[in-house]
Amino acid sequence: MTLAARLPPLFVLAVMLHTAVLPQFRVAGVAPDLLLLLGIAAGIAAGPDRGAIVGFTAGLLADCFLQTPFGLSALTYSLVGYAVGMFQTTILHAALWIPVTTAVVASALGVVLFAVTGAVVGQAHLLSNRLVTVVLVVSLVNGLLFLFVARPVRWATTADLAPGLVLR
Amino acid sequence: MILLVLTSVTVITLDFRGPGGVIGAVRSGAADVLSPVRGAADTVFGPVSDAFSGITGYGALEDENDVLWRRIEELEGDRLRAEDAEAELKALLRVNRLDRFTDLPSVSARVVGSPISNFEQTIQLDRGSDHGIGEDMPVVTGTGLIGRVVDVSGTRSIVRLITDPSSSVGVRLSRSGVLGVLEGVGPDRLLDLGLVDLETDVRERELLVTSGVDDSFFPGGIPVGRVRRATSTEGELQQDIAVAPVVDLGRLRFVKVIQTGSP
């Protein structure tokens, strides 16, 4: 099965979970950001280019349901996916805690980048005291969710890569 | 990567050029497609979510229950006293040929979606332009104002709550009649009332209603909040006033959209 056949069902399932299920389970009023995690997991599994593409697509899907400027999530998620992919190519992958910690830190950076970029384009209200709570909850819960998301994302994003090129 | 960044910036720029167009259609279409899924998930996971909230906040629920029982007794007394005043007000308005917001046409809708974003305070309703709802229409419950419609498709609409940090409502203090602007600062936080000078006598629990001034999205007289505290600091030009919404925005089930103007 090719990349083009594997990615769409992954996005459809992620959007359904992100918009309909996960908002029901909030910690301190904050829901995890599955679509941001998709780009991060893709960067970890398949490198910077695919991390950026998956992050961009997931961000565009997220923008469909937000009132913030369309493209803001796409911009930030793709940058995070790319950065994670660049970082992952330079470190060892033997231990599980490394990608989990990467997902936690990248999620925190993704939320901050979204808020800062949003403020630059006129959404000043994104930079408030609440940002600290959002960063903490999203990063920690995303770190937990990464354990469940990593495998399907690796399956979808490394379909056409030679086994030696897949980051495990 | 550069191509993706440029594409994102282009899309953001296009979105800033105004509402509607391709981007508006994409947003409406996506929301329409996902609306039944969100409704079904709400039905399936709602009880699980309630149980999750109950487990994490059991002590607070017991305290809240005691407070609510006391409030019911107080409100029953208020209701009896209000009946007479209501009749007098109706007669006065009729004589002066004035409308109240309760007399305006409205559409009832069910809340089918909680906020998706962690930065926005919005809810989704199961009614849209097919049912006569349009952008900027005020949304209320039996108690008072909750927000206004900011996005509409055929079968659903998005309401920005008054607690959203980008929300502002023109209000009037019920005792003094002084006007101010009520701004949201995020969920579970008190609203911020601005533009009230230091000389104005503002009391705790004083009611705020929509001002209904020209160019306002909201008709006048809709209850919005009650003053929780008001402090004056020397050297400041206005008071620091915190306001609690009259409606519990965390437990919205059914709301009314007031049809001000045509959609």
Q: For residue range A49-107, what is the model confidence (pLDDT) as tens digits?
A: 999 999 999 999 999 888 888 899 999 999 999 999 998 777 656 678 889 999 999 99
pLDDT at res. A58: 95
CB pairs under 8 A between A and B: 136
* pLDDT < 70: residue spans in chain B: 17-20, 39, 42, 46, 52-57, 96-100, 102, 261-263
B26 and A64 within 8 Å at the Cβ level: the answer is: yes
Tokens of B153: 């498709």
For residue B176, the model assigns a pLDDT of 85
| Phi and psi, residue B150, nearest 5° | -115, -15
pLDDT of residue B97: 64
A50 touches chain B (CB under 8 A): no
The predicted-structure confidence for A94-146, as pLDDT tens digits, reads as follows: 678 889 999 999 999 999 999 999 999 888 888 888 899 999 999 999 999 99
Of A21, A67, A121, the CB nearest to B120: A67
Residue of A nearest to B121 (CA): A67
Tokens 């309401």, residue? Answer: B159
The pLDDT, as a whole number, for residue B107 is 92
Residue A2, CB-side half-sphere exposure with 13 Å CA sphere: 2
Give the pLDDT score at B196: 86
Verify whether the Cβ–Cβ distance A23 to B116 is below 8 Å: yes
At B149, is the secondary structure helix, strand, or coil? strand
**pLDDT (0 to 100) of residue A146:** 95
Q: What is the pLDDT of residue B148?
A: 94
Contact B139, B148 (CB under 8 A): yes
Q: How far is CA B215 from CA A11, B163, B167, B211, in A?
A: 42, 21, 15, 11
Does A75 lie at the interface with B, CB-CB under 8 angstroms? yes
Question: What is the pLDDT at residue A94?
Answer: 64
CA B121-A72-B156 angle, to 5 degrees, is 45
- B11 and A53 within 8 Å at the Cβ level: the answer is no
The CA–CA distances, whole Å, from B133 to A151, B145, B164, B263 equal: 44, 16, 21, 6
pLDDT at A91 (0 to 100) = 65
Instruction: Reduce the DSSP state of residue B163 to 3 states and report it.
Output: coil
Which residues have C-beta within 8 Å of that of residue A3, sequence separation ≥ 6? A156, A157, A159, A160
Range list of β-strands (E), chain B? 106-113, 122-125, 138-140, 145-152, 157-161, 168-173, 179-183, 191-194, 207-210, 223-231, 240-245, 254-258
Would you tell me how many other CB atoms lie within 10 Å of the CB of residue B88?
9
Q: Quickly count: other Cβ atoms within 10 Å of residue A116's Cβ.
A: 13
Mutating which of B117, B121, B249 best tests the A interface, going by the most A Cβ atoms within 10 A?
B117
Residue recorded with tokens 């004035």 = B98
Q: Kindly report the nearest CA distance between residue B72 and chain A, in angstroms.
A: 28
- B45 is written with which tokens? 């996971």
> Which phi-psi region, left, alpha or beta, contains residue A166 (left: φ > 0; alpha: ψ -120 to 50)?
beta
Cβ under 8 Å to B: A residues 106-145: 111, 114-115, 118, 121, 123, 125-126, 128-130, 134, 137-138
Q: Choose the mutation target among B12, B37, B45 for the interface with A, i.e. most A CBs under 10 Å.
A: B12
Structure tokens at A90: 């330079």
pLDDT at position B57 is 65
**Cβ contacts of A111 on chain B, cutoff 8 Å:** 118
User: Could you report the per-residue pLDDT of A12-33, keeping only the tens digit for each?
Assistant: 899 888 988 888 888 888 899 9
Cβ separation A82–B1 shorter than 8 A: yes
CB A127 within 8 A of CB A12: no
Residue of A nearest to B149 (CA): A67
Q: What is the pLDDT of residue A26?
A: 84
B173, B206 contact by CB (below 8 A): yes
**A130 with B30: Cβ contact below 8 A:** no
Chain A hits for B187, Cβ within 8 Å:
29, 130
- The verdict on ipTM greater than 0.90 is no
pTM given for the model: 0.78
CA dist B84 and B164 (Å) reads 36
Cα B114 to its chain centre, rounded Å, is 13
Q: What is the pLDDT of residue B18?
A: 63
Q: What is the pLDDT of residue B186?
A: 80
